[in-house]
Amino acid sequence: MGWQLINARISRTGEDGGDEQVESLGYLIGDGHEEDFFCFNKGPWHSHEPYISKEYSPHIEVDGTEFYIQDFTFNGKKVFATAATDEQPASEYIFWSNAMSAWIYLPGGGLREPFYWTDIDETTVLGDAFYVGGQVLPDLNDTQGPEDWELTGNTTTSYASKVNVSLKHDYWEWESNYNGGDNSKPCGRYRNPKTGSFKTVGIPTFKAANSINRNAYYKGIEFQRAGKDSNDNWTYNSDSGKSIHFVPATRKWVLGTPYQGKWSESDSPPTAGGTPTLYQGFQMDEGTNQPVRDGNGDFALSFDRYEMGKEKKPVLIGEVSLWRRTNQG
H or E stretch including 278?
Answer: strand 277-284
Total domains in the chain come to 3
Contacts of 254 (CB under 8 A, 6+ apart): 244, 245, 246, 247, 263, 264, 265
Domain annotation covers residue 327: no
Note whether 216 and 155 are same-domain residues.
no
Higher pLDDT, 273 or 308: 308
Note whether 208 and 195 are same-domain residues.
no
The separation between the first and the last C-alpha atoms of the chain, rounded to the nearest angstrom, is 48
In the listed set 147, 168, 189, which residue is the last one of a domain according to the structure?
168
Average pLDDT over residues 177-187: 74
CB-based contact 174:49 (threshold 8 Å): yes
Q: Please tell me whether residue 219 adopts helix, strand or coil conformation.
A: coil
Note whether 73 and 161 are same-domain residues.
yes
In the listed set 178, 201, 224, which residue is the last one of a domain according to the structure?
201
Note whether 48 and 89 are same-domain residues.
no
Work out the pLDDT band at 19, boundaries 50, 70, 90. Answer: low
H or E stretch including 316?
Answer: none
The whole-angstrom separation of Cα 130 and Cα 159 is 9
Domain annotation covers residue 328: no
With a cut of 60, say whether residue 268 has pLDDT above it: yes
pLDDT at residue 184 in the model: 73
Note whether 43 and 122 are same-domain residues.
no
Note whether 72 and 143 are same-domain residues.
yes
Strand partners, 245: 254
Note whether 207 and 195 are same-domain residues.
no
Note whether 80 and 158 are same-domain residues.
yes
pLDDT in tens, 190-248: 999 889 999 999 999 999 998 888 889 999 999 999 988 998 999 999 988 899 999 99
Note whether 107 and 255 are same-domain residues.
no
Domain annotation covers residue 16: yes
Domain annotation covers residue 286: yes
Note whether 15 and 154 are same-domain residues.
no
Average pLDDT over residues 257-262: 93
Work out the pLDDT band at 10, boundaries 50, 70, 90. Answer: confident
Average pLDDT over residues 273-296: 92
Q: State the pTM of this model.
A: 0.79
pLDDT at residue 88 in the model: 63
Domain range for 94: 59-168
